[in-house]
Amino acid sequence: MIQTANLGYPRLGPRREWKRALERYWQGKLTETELHDAIRTVYRDALRRQAAFDLTWVPAGDLTYYDPMLDLAVTFGLVPARFREAYGYAGGPVSLELYFAIARGSDRVPAAEMTKWFNTNYHYIVPELDAVAAGRAPEIADNRPLQAYREAREVVGERARPVVVGPYTFVRLSKGYPEAAFAEVVRAFVPAYRALLRSLAEAGAAWIQIDEPALVLDVPAGDIALLHEVYGALVEAAAPAKLMLQTYFEAVEHYSDVVRLPVAGIGLDFVDGLADNRASVLRHGFPEDKVLGVGLIPGRNVWRADLEAQAAFLRELAAVVPFERMILSPSTSLLFVPISLERETKLDPALRDVLAFADEKLAELRLLARADAPDAEAEAAYRASAEARRRFFAAHPFPAPEAVTAEETTRAIPFEARKKIHAERFSLPLFPTTTIGSFPQTKDVREARARFRKGELDAEGYKAFIRAKIAEWIRIQEELGLDVLVHGEFERTDMVEYFAEKLGGFAFTEHGWVQSYGSRAVRPPIIYGEIVYREPLTVEETAYAQSLTEKPVKGMLTGPVTILKWSYPREDVPPEAIAYSIARALRKEVEALEAAGIRMVQVDEPAFREGLPLKRRHRDRYLDWAVRAFRLATAGARPETQVHTHMCYSEFGDIIDAIKALDADVISIETSRSHGELIQAFEENTYDKEIGLGVYDIHSPRVPDVEEMKALARRALRVLPKENFWINPDCGLKTRDVPETIASLKNMVAAARGLRAELGER
């Protein structure tokens, strides 16, 4: 059999034990010792579950209390200066209090920046390397990878393979140094990485997986010499352990140079990077002194693999790389899929038969590992997987998309004309205040929803409960003095799942949770068939909220790109076809909201930047259809309707033109943790529409004061016209509690009023 390895496993636990332990600790319901015990139990269970699939190598490194990038930063003692000062940190192991303060913020200091991990919906904590750039050499302060490896070795023995993010990727994804100093900063990490790898080798690691996904980005040719220099030093320090340099999410750049790096193995993604990686291996060969990591089981979607096609691909590959020099794996960590189908008893059996979550993918891996010498049983299993997929997709055809015309994607009049209409219609003050959409999903909301789903609360009772919550929060918003209100989204479990439940073509799991950031988990729907608009999605609750106030209430929709990206889409249908189909359904909902008297409609696209291809040469095509999908959903709005959108943490500088092309009247952007970087983007690119840059971080429990919010706004106003500027939190408030939400919004309104006094009420 071919050797097998997993690259990473979901952290949440089968019943979200990891999430619950963290949240109980933050609530003061678990002691530090109890938290350690709970996390260790989840980690050990995950190791045992993986080992049960006869993996040659089991990843050791998923034992995180929040995020692996943060873990590696504190391993090297890289605590940002403001946290060192606030917590008196002088080196050595980082306390849990300080660790969580960096991740979530505290009363003493705002949280560190958080952004998307490549083109996924997972968010990582961005390390800050100011001290390294200033000449402070990183060193081992708290060897968390070693602790995780020792824990794993106790459970799975010599099969444990440590997983560490490599120095090239770690520095590339960090901040706090000038771009010109990149190579110098990477070199500064070499001694610390050498010490880390040496410690793992001395503890018994035979192989060490060192993740370098940044090698699939547009790597400058000049970085190749740097990589050879760095890895030459690391390989020597790690001996006798072997290094598996692992890439994923796309094909590697500079293939011929990368495969000559002095490591024992190179892992390639043959799912998302199939075409280019396959062509490179077949055209250029593969070094005889290395093992090829073959990432062939899809790690980011939940469809059962076509094992027949994959087995054929492996045999094709074996003409270049013998089976004995392959290590078969998923294409990425399995962090992006739920743990197991075992408890999914309510799915349509025909659909369930063509799905594979993490455990099922490891079972597929075990089966595919027999491709070097398949017996009749294996061959039959390969055929069965392919036939099941073909049969299901044929039974649920996805129609070819209708042509999207220029007329459908163009507002009736241009923005400047609409702006004048809106100014007269709404008479908003300078720096209008609003929120992004959701308000706290408190215990009573969750309990009422659970009782309704169990049949313990009838439809009328549940509707009355939701209306009472809407009325309560309309009153609160008016008392706070917000200018544009929202209904609060109390009826919604999730901003994608809620819409998917009301549209045809989606299926839902009961327990298919995946991590988004920290303890935040989402349950992505599965797109299995044609998208159908059956009935109004949001009109009843929005219209009721509007009936309670004279102020405008925004209709709140999730955009087509985000619904697509935060679902598990069909693999056999082009993504733009699905996006257009969703957009046409949302277009009908915009019309229904307008007919009900709603004057503002917000179509959120937090995944817009996330979907951007990792390689620049592929980006124009994506941006073309993503912009077209958004405009297809919104361009039918009447001129007097103000269209808003919202986007999440991302680097926006390279898509400013696409954001302009959306032609939304108002955009709000989640920026409080990365405000400076975004302001720089607007310094370099003009933006002529209305915009709200989040003035406080909703992912943190801290309540920022008025001056802090005003300072963030002032910085933005250096490059944005005051007449176009809105004041808002940087995301929805669903995960916050009521007292901190009210306190933060009170300060936010006060900040807006203070700015009006300073800069002139219009």
Q: In this predicted model, what pLDDT tens digit does every residue of 247-299 receive, in sequence order?
A: 999 999 999 999 999 999 999 999 999 999 999 999 999 999 999 999 999 99
Residues 6+ apart with CB under 8 A from 631: 408, 409, 410, 661, 662, 663
N-to-C CA span, the chain: 75
Q: Is there a shared CATH topology between the 3-336 domain and the 415-493+552-759 domain?
A: yes
- What is the percent of the chain where pLDDT is above 90? 83
Binding site, annotated residues for Zn(2+)? 646, 648, 670, 731
The pTM for the full model equals: 0.92
Residues at the binding site for 5-methyltetrahydropteroyltri-L-glutamate are 16-19, 116, 121, 566, 610
What's residue 416's pLDDT? 95
Q: How far is CA 633 from the centre of its chain?
A: 23
Taking residues 696-701, report their average pLDDT: 74
Mean pLDDT of 331-349: 97
Q: Report the percentage of the chain scoring pLDDT > 70.
A: 97
Rounded mean pLDDT of 84-107?
Answer: 94
Considering the domain 3-336 in this protein, what is its CATH number? Answer: 3.20.20.210
For Cα atoms 496, 501, 505, give the angle at the middle one, nearest 5 degrees. 100
Helices (H), 427-484: 443-453, 459-480
Alpha-carbon dihedral angle through residues 168, 173, 174, 175, given to the nearest 10 degrees = 120
Q: What is the pLDDT of residue 523?
A: 94
User: Which amino acids are annotated as binding site for L-methionine, given as ranges?
Assistant: 436-438, 489, 604
The pLDDT confidence band at residue 677, using thresholds 50, 70 and 90, is: low
Only one residue has tokens 């010599």, namely: 158
- Checking if the pLDDT of 672 tops 80, the result is no
pLDDT for 1-25, tens place per residue? 899 999 999 999 999 999 999 999 9
pLDDT band for 674, please (50, 70, 90 cuts).
Answer: low
Helices (H), 369-413: 376-395
Q: How high is the pLDDT of residue 649?
A: 55
345 burial type by CB count under 10 A (0-12 exposed, 13-18 middle, 19+ buried): exposed
**Mean of pLDDT values over 354-362:** 98
Question: Nearest 5°: CA angle at 543, between 539 and 549?
Answer: 155
Pick from 256-265, 406-415, 436-445, 481-490: least confident: 436-445
pLDDT computed for residue 442 by the predictor: 86
Q: Is 699 a catalytic residue?
A: yes
CA distance 707 to 690: 23
**Do residues 355 and 321 lie in contact, with contact meaning Cβ atoms separated by under 8 Å?**
no
For range 329-351, the mean pLDDT: 97
Query: Does residue 640 sit in helix, strand or coil?
Result: coil
Which residue carries 């045992």 as its tokens? Answer: 48
684 pLDDT band (50/70/90 cuts)? low
CA distance 582 to 576: 10
User: Within 13 Å, how many C-alpha atoms sit on residue 492's CB side?
Assistant: 28
Mean pLDDT of 680-697: 78
* 144-153, 216-225, 511-520, 654-663: range with lowest mean pLDDT: 654-663
User: Catalytic: which of 123, 422, 644, 699?
Assistant: 699
* Domain boundaries of the chain, sorted by first residue: 3-336, 415-493+552-759
Cα–Cα distances in angstroms (integers) from residue 306 to residues 2, 36, 77, 271, 301, in the given order = 18, 40, 45, 12, 13
**E strand or H helix at 522:** strand 520-522
Q: Are strands 666-669 and 690-693 parallel, antiparallel or unpaired?
A: parallel
Cα-based distances in Å from 15 to 10, 514, 561: 12, 11, 29
Q: Is the pLDDT of residue 482 over 70?
A: yes
State pLDDT tens for residues 541-579. Answer: 999 999 999 999 999 999 999 999 999 999 999 999 999
Lowest mean pLDDT among 2-6, 626-630, 697-701: 697-701
pLDDT for the residue 323: 97
Q: Give pairs for 736-745: CB < 8 Å, separation 24+.
A: 736/440, 736/698, 736/701, 737/440, 737/442, 737/701, 738/440, 738/442, 740/701, 740/702, 740/703, 741/439, 741/440, 742/476, 742/480, 743/703, 744/696, 744/703, 744/704, 745/435, 745/477, 745/480, 745/482
Does domain 415-493+552-759 fall under CATH 3.90.1580.10? My reply is no
DSSP state of 303: B
Residue 599 carries which DSSP code? -
Q: In the predicted model, what is the mean pLDDT of the chain? A: 93
Structure tokens belonging to residue 209: 């997986």
Residues 6+ apart with CB under 8 A from 729: 435, 436, 694, 695, 696, 698, 744, 745, 748
